[in-house]
Amino acid sequence: MLDNPRQAAPIDESSLRYDGWHIVAVCFLLATFGWGLGFYGQSVYVAELQRARGWPTSLISSGTTFFYLFGALLVVFVGEAVRKYGPRICLIAGTLAMSAAAVAIGAVREPWQLYLADAVLAFGWAGTSLAMITNTISLWFDQKRGMAISLALNGASFGGIVGVPLLVTLIGRIGFESAMFTVAGAMLVLLVPVILFVVGRPPDLHGWQGTAKVKPQSSAQVRAWALRDVGFLAVTIAFALVLFAQVGFIVHLISFLDPIIGRERAAVAVAVLTAMAVIGRVLFSMVIDRLNQRLASALSFLSQAAALLVVINLHNDYVLIAACAVFGFSVGNLITMPSLIVQREFDSASFGVLISLNTAINQVTYAFGPGVVGVLRDFSGGYTLPFYLCIALEVAAAALIMVRGTPRARTS
């Protein structure tokens, strides 16, 4: 369907008729299930398995940590898989793995089965989340890549805002196991035919861009070079620090706000934060391709640090909710920005490998965010110390993101 015999003709990415926007819609749907089952769904699994099996929270949570770490290892190779097998096969493989994981989680009876299910879930996460989506969209978009990725990743927020409540409602009506089986079936029925019908051969972007870049000899060489390049390390470490702080703060937000403003208003604050993440991503998508993306990232980091400072020191209900809104405005964009910086500053032929490596390092780092914040909270008797650590990480990241590598390194 998407094969174009006139590959040499200019491609108008801004046209609504361009087939790339169909790919964005597919990735939106993929992100809805990927984040709904892989990221936000973790809180549901912990609660349901604890209730149904009576297992310690630490046991179930350790399975979640294993999922993130194993998933990060798999994410490294997503770019290579897309390049070797094509986006259609990889998207279907990710969908099948996520569906199988949902079935496995619903059928868990013993602790070892939970770890096996989380291992399958890691494959599904690698095939349905950020690395897969950015790698897929990069095959159809260059000039409008920022907008395309931002719009597709709104599916991630949709998975949290709508998908998780629907899952919880379904569990209440038909039980945990049946609900997971139903969701797995729905994912297969909705996604597989759409992927088969819509996702075809991507256009030859480099042919019409008119600028050929040096192609690295192997993915291993790209990774080895990237881990020595100052510019790439600055981007990767900066976003790893920010996501560590961001995930740690968000996971503990209700626990922090509950004794201050009550559970109901704490839930409102979280809902506002999530809604602002969607609004911020949509608004940024209109201009993100024209911005100085390193500077925009630094300002986003500092805005989160300022919001955290308010959260720590001012305990008025409305002020706290407003601070959560400010923090949330940049939440969605911080998973989009790395791919745009990598696209703009590094070898386009290496994009898939580089963004997969960046995503994997970030995931390994933020997997420890909630645990470290929790340990510091228990050690200090409150959230002031861990949240000030988050502020320090955000400020340090704002300085680090402005460090660029040499032009010579980026063309190697």
Measure the CA–CA gap between 203 and 207, rounded to whole angstroms: 9
**Same structural domain for residues 128 and 192?**
yes
Residue 4 in contact with residue 203, Cβ under 8 Å?
Answer: yes
Distance CA(375)–CA(105), nearest Å, equals: 28
Q: How many domains does the chain have?
A: 2
User: Is 275 in the same domain as 140?
Assistant: no
Residues in the chain predicted with pLDDT less than 50, given as ranges, are 1-2, 4-8, 207-216, 407-412
Of the residues 199, 229, 263, which one is the last residue of a structural domain? 199
Q: Which domain holds residue 242?
A: 219-410
pLDDT at 121: 94
Domain presence at residue 308? yes
The pLDDT score that the predictor gives to residue 411 is 41
Q: Is the same domain home to 328 and 400? A: yes
- Domain end (from 199, 232, 264): 199
Domain-located, residue 171: yes
Residue 398 lies in a domain: yes
Measured CA to CA, the distance from residue 183 to residue 170 in angstroms comes to: 9
Same domain, 274 and 157: no
Using DSSP's 3-state secondary structure scheme, residue 62 falls into: helix
Q: Which of 50, 274, 55 is nearest to 160 (CA)?
A: 274
What separation in angstroms does the CA of 205 have from each of 212, 226, 361? 10, 24, 28
The token pair that represents 313 in the structure block: 């020191």
SS3 annotation, 141-209: CCCCHHHHHHHHHHHHHHHHHHHHHHHHHHHHHHCHHHHHHHHHHHHHHHHHHHHHHHCCCCCCHHHHH
Are 246 and 364 in the same domain? yes
188 and 235 part of one domain: no
**pLDDT per position as a tens digit, 188-242:** 999 999 999 998 888 865 544 434 444 445 777 888 888 888 889 999 999 999 9
Residues 46 and 86 occupy one common structural domain: yes
At 217 the pLDDT is 54
Are 161 and 39 members of one domain?
Answer: yes
Q: Are residues 241 and 188 in the same domain?
A: no
Instruction: Let me know if residue 60 belongs to a domain.
Output: yes
The rounded distance, in Å, linking the Cα atoms of 308 and 384 is: 10
Residue 2's pLDDT is 45
pLDDT 10s digits, 313-331: 988 889 999 999 999 898 8
**What's the CATH number where 195 sits?**
1.20.1250.20
Assess if residue 275 is contained within a domain.
Answer: yes
Of 188, 197, 145, give the one whose Cα is nearest residue 22. Answer: 197
Regarding whether 240 and 268 lie in a shared domain, the answer is yes
Q: What tokens does 407 get?
A: 């032009």
Q: Are residues 41 and 181 in the same domain?
A: yes
- Alpha-carbon distance 47 to 173, whole Å? 16
How many angstroms separate the CA atoms of 118 and 211, rounded? 43
Q: Is residue 175 part of a domain?
A: yes
pTM of the model: 0.77
Within a domain: residue 13? no
* pLDDT value, residue 96: 96
- pLDDT reported for residue 213: 44
Apex 84 CA angle, 82 and 88, nearest 5: 45
Question: What pLDDT does 211 receive?
Answer: 40
Domain co-membership, 39 together with 166: yes
Residue 210 within a domain: no
pLDDT, residue 405, reads: 65
Question: Which of these three, 148, 170, 199, is where a domain ends?
Answer: 199
